[in-house]
């Protein structure tokens, strides 16, 4: 049973601190600060620099926070509807680097913000449709917006070129590929675009190839390393792609399996709901790919092209966001309001039956089109490991949308409960408070 200690303070005073307790020895996040300011679901967090982050959500607000103190630094107002995408863009001058924020909203506008002053520097309104995703290409000094059309803009918010698409869902994700190519997720397809810079420095965009290997809507699209990217679909397909040739390198389809050895008293599992096998989020460290699949977690090795660890039911509801802390540690958050820390460990014997949950079977090939090679149960794959829960961060009362790590400074989470929580290393905070006390005593001549 965890011990809770909550101190509420008024806005402008010291943020409330919650001591989680000592029952989780591998969980360093034993203190937290609750950050208030939003009035609706907070969906996005973006890191500005080593000590600041910005939050945005359905209330149309963008708030800038100091993650060391929990202080709200700026309140960016201007959008009349929910924020649909946010990213940072860095501008260089002769002396310094300046980081700005770009936001997109359902009010069909785009805005450029100065997080230092809170001023809106540029705005574009009356777009044909809402922008769903943003991508900054620092090398070309341009940024892209995706929705019903793909648009390329310069740093002064001037439209350079655009290309309409014919998908009902529009562009939902964008990633940069080598040699000035872009991959865009549109429904079940991935479109490859080329960006060409002419002699007069003008830009043009052209459609090069359509990758149509997914059988359901693409929910996640990420860069893995310089030579690979990956995509995940609503029906549990994970595809690894070559980033320069754009060909399929590996295909994983997560299926459920009914037990073959059953009797009349055994309850056999029916077909899963689509949400239970949907890949909600992908993340990678270049060596491993971590997939949030329904309420479970799935760890895939890029090198061996195989499953290395899994957890059939990691949360009580769908996992919304994940992060690999190292090759053996990871973190996830869920619709159930929890944030959990995991460690990859050897699977105990006897192994947990793979047919009783999410990762019952992997088939290699197009299993939904035709019968492929013999399927493998998870427990039959050599060197398969499990995910052991090492920390459970309980503080939100609504779905945790995502989180951002600031290493030793802490972890920031945002939620449907309108709150942000700054999770801190309790031992580090105690040392900092002791150091600050000693410094004050020295200044006052007390030592």
Tell me whether residue 22 is exposed, middle or buried, using C-beta atoms within 10 angstroms of its C-beta: 0 to 12, 13 to 18, 19 or more.
exposed
Closest CA to 317 of 301, 293, 341: 293
Residues in the chain, overall count? 447
Per-residue pLDDT at 217:
95
Quick: pLDDT tens for 49-108. 999 999 999 999 999 999 999 999 999 999 999 999 999 998 776 677 889 999 999 999
Q: Position of tokens 């997560």?
A: 254
Integer Cα distance of 10 and 25 in angstroms: 32
Integer Cα distance of 328 and 161 in angstroms: 44
Mean of pLDDT values over 213-225: 96
- C-alpha gyration radius of the chain: 23
Mean of pLDDT values over 232-257: 89
With beta carbons less than 8 A apart as the criterion, state whether 39 and 60 touch: no
Q: Position of tokens 């341009």?
A: 142
Per-residue pLDDT at 94:
63
Model pTM greater than 0.85? no
| Secondary structure of residue 395 in the 3-state scheme | coil
| Secondary structure of residue 354 in the 3-state scheme | helix
Closest CA to 176 of 163, 192, 188, 165: 192
Mean of pLDDT values over 169-187: 95
With beta carbons less than 8 A apart as the criterion, state whether 369 and 363 touch: no
Q: In this structure, what token pair is assigned to residue 186?
A: 């549109």
Per-residue pLDDT at 264:
30
Indicate the Cα dihedral angle 143, 145, 146, 150, nearest 10°. -70
Integer Cα distance of 18 and 429 in angstroms: 12
Q: Which residues pair with 388 in a beta bridge?
A: 343
* Cβ burial 170-206 (10 Å sphere, 16+ → b, else e): bbbbbbbbeebbbbbbbbbbbbbbebeeeeeeebebe
Per-residue pLDDT at 275:
59
Ranking 288-302, 309-323, 382-396 by mean pLDDT, the lowest is: 382-396
With beta carbons less than 8 A apart as the criterion, state whether 234 and 279 touch: yes
Closest CA to 308 of 226, 383, 389: 383
Which alpha helices (H) appear in 153-220, and where do they start and end?
none
Q: Over the chain, what is the mean pLDDT?
A: 83
Quick: pLDDT tens for 364-421. 333 333 333 344 444 455 678 889 999 999 999 999 999 999 988 899 999 999 999 9
CB-CB neighbours of 118 under 10 Å = 15
Closest CA to 152 of 182, 179, 123, 130: 182
Pairing assessment for the beta strands 237-242 and 159-164 based on DSSP bridges: unpaired
H or E stretch at 334 = strand 329-334
Sheet holding 361-364, edge to edge: 218-225, 228-233, 237-242, 248-255, 361-364
Per-residue pLDDT at 362:
42
């Amino acid at each position: 049973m965890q011990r809770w200690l909550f101190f509420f303070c008024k806005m402008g005073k010291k943020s409330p601190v919650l001591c989680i307790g000592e029952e989780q020895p591998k969980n360093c996040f034993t203190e937290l600060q609750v950050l208030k300011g939003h009035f609706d679901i907070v969906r996005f967090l973006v890191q500005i620099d080593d000590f600041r982050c910005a939050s945005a959500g359905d209330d149309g607000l963008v708030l800038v926070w100091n993650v060391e103190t929990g202080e709200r630094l700026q309140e960016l107002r201007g959008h009349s509807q929910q924020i649909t995408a946010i990213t940072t863009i860095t501008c260089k001058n002769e002396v310094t680097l300046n980081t700005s924020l770009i936001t997109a909203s359902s009010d069909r506008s785009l805005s450029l913000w100065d997080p230092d002053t809170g001023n809106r520097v540029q705005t574009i309104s009356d777009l044909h449709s809402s922008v769903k995703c943003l991508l900054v290409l620092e090398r070309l000094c341009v940024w892209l917006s995706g929705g019903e059309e793909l648009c390329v803009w310069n740093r002064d918010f001037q439209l350079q070129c655009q290309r309409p698409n014919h998908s009902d869902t529009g562009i939902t994700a964008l990633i940069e590929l080598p040699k000035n190519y872009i991959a865009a997720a549109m429904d079940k397809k991935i479109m490859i675009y080329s960006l060409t810079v002419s002699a007069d420095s003008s830009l043009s965009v052209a459609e090069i190839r359509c990758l149509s290997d997914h059988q359901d809507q693409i929910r996640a699209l990420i860069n893995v390393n310089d030579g690979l990217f990956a995509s995940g679909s609503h029906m549990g397909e994970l595809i690894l792609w070559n980033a320069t040739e754009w060909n399929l390198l590996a295909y994983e389809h997560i299926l459920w399996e009914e037990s073959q050895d059953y009797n009349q008293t055994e309850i056999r599992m029916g077909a899963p709901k689509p949400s239970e096998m949907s890949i909600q989020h992908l993340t990678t460290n270049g060596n491993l790919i971590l997939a949030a699949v329904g309420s479970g977690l799935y760890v895939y090795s890029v090198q061996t092209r195989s499953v290395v660890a899994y957890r059939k039911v990691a949360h009580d509801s769908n996992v919304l966001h994940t992060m690999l802390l190292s090759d053996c540690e990871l973190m996830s958050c869920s619709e159930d309001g929890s944030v959990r820390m995991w460690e990859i460990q050897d699977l105990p014997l006897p192994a947990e039956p793979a047919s009783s949950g999410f990762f019952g079977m992997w088939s290699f090939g197009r299993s939904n089109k035709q019968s492929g090679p013999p399927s493998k149960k998870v427990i039959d794959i050599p060197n398969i490991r499990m995910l052991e829960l090492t920390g459970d961060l309980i503080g939100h009362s609504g779905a945790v949308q995502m989180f951002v790590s600031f290493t030793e400074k802490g972890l920031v989470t945002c939620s449907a409960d309108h709150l942000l929580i700054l999770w801190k290393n309790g031992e580090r905070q105690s040392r900092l408070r002791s150091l600050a006390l000693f410094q004050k005593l020295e200044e006052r001549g007390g030592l």
